[in-house]
Structure 1
């Protein structure tokens, strides 16, 4: 690679400000997937789905050939694999159908949104609607489509061949272009969504459209505090980006002309893109840890009457009014924008933007509207800027051509792993051992002694069961339940495992340590000594080999713990009295930094700062069970919500 090529690959390439040497040398890559072949009459859904994706269209490991999407980072690809779109396309492929694009999937969800929620179910369908309300959007959509397919098959009982409809273009999101300025087998990628439909109809029009998009650098004033840098009427080329979901809304209008800099224009990075206007709204509208908006929950289960639900309904309406007012203020900028990139999933969010309502600005039939052809995160200003950079920056990727397979290689060849060899398949016994390990460790960490003993008995497991896989870091240090309980400083679990489950204290871990060696406090060590006293020296294991000290009676251990507790209380009482006497004689004094750190967390009488609200909450929850803590937290949140509503009503 020469210096020229190295420089081209190092600098960010902005679509609207490409270097002349690249611009004049661009050509569309052969078989770039620009024009799709028309389906023939013999094409069936199964035939279409069985066609392998072209390696020139979906490239490398950072891509999803099933959904026709590519990603810049591995993290984005992992997020995509968890989306409903990917699960839906997997189901489509298993059923012999073709995958759908992201825009088509959103349309399917929106068309079935009312029936999914069950809000339009009749009285005779109450039972069926009640069960459907418990389903997710994805499962409900699949069930509805299966029901429609059954109806179509039953309607065609006279022998007529069912009609098939081709869904989804299967076009990749990126177009690839070649240039002699690039190394061999290296290409530029540009998102298809940047171009208009008429520009994508002909291959020759793509390069010409890129040349027409070149804009001279401009000088713009700094952004004002309210997010607007220009008057509502702006004649320059710009695009509008908008995201809404989960109570978060973000919108931005970005100028497409590059910003003039002293050292020349190098493309719009975070500090160089000219933002004409931006705004974000954040409202509490979703039910935390339960999923879904309050309106969706009301449609599915009926109107709730809690303080939190009232607050969420108020915030939903306030968010709708704020968003529509902002769109009205930006109407001149939106009407003159080249493209409108919008992400709004769910019927409520789409109605917020597209209405219908009086004087609405965005309309679904606008040919400028696009979806984001990649995974996006929460709606924030930074996420919009990242999406703008992703849309307008050229991708550079190496594409290795595939060698045609020979007949012998086709018969004997196996799929090659992209990076690492596939891990060996676990046997049924290994999978069962890993499952038991997970369950036992969870009970130990939660100090569930009765449940642990019952689990060992029910599954006929020994208390000395070795955790699997043995090579993991956790199981290397604590291979048995007794090791893990000792390392967790759980004295009751240690006592129960030794006396009730008959765990062996002489078992060594990979470091040659017994469970007693892992005990981190006196209470846990005393639990071993008390068990030695209660079980006796005639037990089936050697206490000396377990490195457990001399036996200790339970009464002696409890008495010693009580004496130590009283001694600590007496020492604390004497300290407080001495501090009170000093305060009477000398008055309060300012301690130095070291003394303040020692007294941090004390009360006012001891000279320390008052406790914070978080410290008081921790003290109130100390000693409570997990259920009691959850109940206390719910009560706190309800009181806080009621207080917010009272303030809102008082200020109205």
Structure 2
């Protein structure tokens, strides 16, 4: 193990850019390198790169033996042992979801079956999850953020979301207070909290504050994460602590040109030889991998403002090519616009064309443009609207395959026409089905009436009664009422619905 060392070429000048630190060792085959996330090292460890190998060896803790794991019928580890273990604190908050866990760095051996090998498992000291309805359906964003931007809304739903935001904030802060000792004794703290409201929940300031932004132990997750759940926290812990193995093809590295100038790598002839044999995974390729994962995650979550901000802040082209280009998903959708079009995201297609400046004529590995891989009419229509608003001179629209442009009003009129046609077809289908049932049973009221709910539904379907939608029932109730009375009736209906939702939330808790 003494032959392990930090690889100089892979880690050179990458302290602020690369999330991984690369190592090589004589134990592994030639041209094989080990990568470990930089975030799991403390700031003091990272200042002395030559001592990182010794730090890693000290972190290789021996798993608990069977005698310690199974001293009681529940097969649980005693709390006294866990309290002395080195551990990490991880938490995520966003979209009304909160998850937190304290994970011991000492793994445990478990046996899945009575007869079978022992396997290592993560030792969870404590965990807790909360969920509250705080985000606006189909619109996103916290209610407090919407209030700050547009003023406080007075609907029942807005009031419920404000109440839930405060309740979630209180629950999280009470939990942090209960876990104060475990958090204070944690080696590192990993937090994902997007948005000012979520960060205010964790970092306050407030009386009895536990987490502080200036704490040097606090880290972000150096990779994309999903919804805040206990499963996602454990997946993130495993990802953080698992070693990455990269095998380099020495023949391919010869074709890679060094990115730095001759002045930066011209100390000795030995340095020149090292740069000539640098691994295929160059600094630029690693950065491209990171940008690819972040951009694709934002597109799949349909975060247009965050996507445009990310491209601008990192000085990336709106037609950034995903890396690596040879994998199937990047071969089919190799740029942000192509991916948004393949996902039929009208919002992202419209934003990338009009605000981001994406080129619609760029083709994927199959030789198809973004318009040609769009699967829905609304997505293709967004390209035509963009052509009308951008103009004919900026892009080669003929090469992009986009037909002649149409105005936004014309597009909305087409959508309305199509919606009316669909409603008309649905009405005709319902009438035909009702007529078919009448012909099948022309005298439903003769003889002994059937008993039961199913029979009642059949009878209503045959007679045409009871087929009204909720909207039709509301319109029938409002007939003959003045506009003021209709508004009062609607307010009462919404208030009853809000009370029912709040009662349901209270019953769950």
**TM-score by shorter chain over 0.5:** yes
Offset at residue 216 of structure 1 (A): 1.6
Tell me the secondary structure at the aligned position of residue 217 of structure 1.
coil
Residue pairs, 1:316-465, within 5 angstroms: 316-401=165-250, 402-403=253-254, 418-419=325-326, 441-442=377-378
- Is 1:204 paired with 2:34? no
SS in 1 for 2:183: helix
Cα distance change on mapping 1:229 and 1:392 into 2, 3 Å:
same
CA distance in 2, matches of 1:646, 1:354: 31
1:27 and 2:26 correspond: no
Aligned CA distance change for structure 1 residues 641 and 178 (closer, same or farther; 3 Å):
same
C-alpha deviation, 1:230, in angstroms: 3.0
Q: How big is each residue's C-alpha offset from its partner over 1:366-419, in whole Å with a ceiling of 9 and x where there is no partner? A: 111111111111111111011011001111122345215799xxxxxxx99842
Distance 2:164 2:35 in 1: 42
Per-residue CA deviation, residues 482-518 of structure 1 (Å, 9 max, x unaligned), is xxxxxxx99979xxxxxxxxxxxxxxxxxxxxxxxxx
Distance in 1 between the 2:169 and 2:152 partners?
19
Corresponding residue number in structure 2 for 1:236? 85
| Offset, 1:202 | 2.3
| Partners of 1:27 and 1:636 in 2: CA distance | 70
2:46 aligned with 1:193, yes or no? no
The 3 A distance-change label for structure 1 pair 442 and 348 is closer
* 1:435–1:204 CA distance, 2 compared to 1 (3 A): closer
CA drift of 1:260 comes to 2.4
Say which SS state the counterpart of residue 256 (structure 1) adopts: strand
Taking structure 2 as the reference length, the TM-score comes to 0.56
Judged with a 3 Å threshold, the aligned counterparts in structure 2 of structure 1 residues 406 and 208 are, in CA distance, closer, same or farther, namely: closer
Q: Is residue 571 of structure 1 aligned with residue 440 of structure 2?
A: yes
For residues 219-239 of structure 1, the C-alpha deviation after alignment (integer angstroms, 9 at most, x for no partner) is: 4479999x9973798111111
| Residues 273, 645 of structure 1: alpha-carbon distance in 2 compared, 3 angstrom cutoff | closer
Higher relative contact order (CA 8 A, sep 6+): 1
Kept in 1, the 8 Å contact 2:99–2:229? The answer is yes
**Contact 1:259 1:265 survives alignment (8 Å):** no
Moved more, 308-317 or 563-572: 563-572
> Which position in structure 2 is the counterpart of 1:160?
none
**RMSD of aligned alpha carbons:** 5.3
- What count of residue pairs does the alignment treat as equivalent? 352
Q: Is the 8 A contact 1:240 1:340 kept in 2?
A: yes
On the 8 A contact 1:248/1:379 being kept in 2, the answer is yes
- The 1:400/1:620 distance shift into structure 2, 3 A limit, reads same
1:603 maps to which of 456, 459, 477: 456
| Post-superposition offset of 1:335 | 1.1
Give the secondary structure class of the aligned counterpart of 2:245: strand
Given candidates 157, 160, 164, the residue that maps to 1:311 is: 160
Name 2:448's counterpart in structure 1.
581
Which residue does 2:21 correspond to in 1? 175
Q: Which has the larger radius of gyration?
A: 1
Unmatched segments (≥5 aa) in structure 1: 1-22, 37-56, 58-168, 408-414, 446-454, 456-467, 471-488, 494-519, 525-560, 590-599, 609-615, 625-632
Change (3 A) 1:223 1:376: farther
Deviation at 1:307, TM superposition (A): 0.7
**How many Å separate the matches in 2 of 1:621 and 1:224?**
58
- Indicate if the aligned counterparts of 1:253 and 1:333 stay in contact, CA closer than 8 A: yes
Q: Is the 1:294–1:309 Cα contact (8 Å) retained in structure 2?
A: yes
User: Structure 2: how far apart are the matches of 1:439 and 1:258?
Assistant: 48
Q: 1:245 aligns with which of 94, 97, 102?
A: 94
Aligned partner of 1:643 in structure 2 is 500
Match of 2:406 in 1: none
1:217 has 2:70 as partner? no
Please tell me whether the aligned partners of residues 191 and 218 of structure 2 are also in contact (alpha carbons under 8 angstroms): yes
Q: Which runs of 5+ in 2 are unaligned?
A: 259-320, 336-358, 382-387, 389-400, 404-417, 475-489
Partner of 1:533: none
TM-score by length of 1: 0.45
Q: Distance in 1 between matches of 2:17 and 2:433?
A: 75
C-alpha deviation, 1:441, in angstroms: 4.4
Aligned to 2:134, the other structure's residue is in SS state coil
Are the aligned partners of 1:216 and 1:258 in contact in 2 as well (CA < 8 Å)? yes
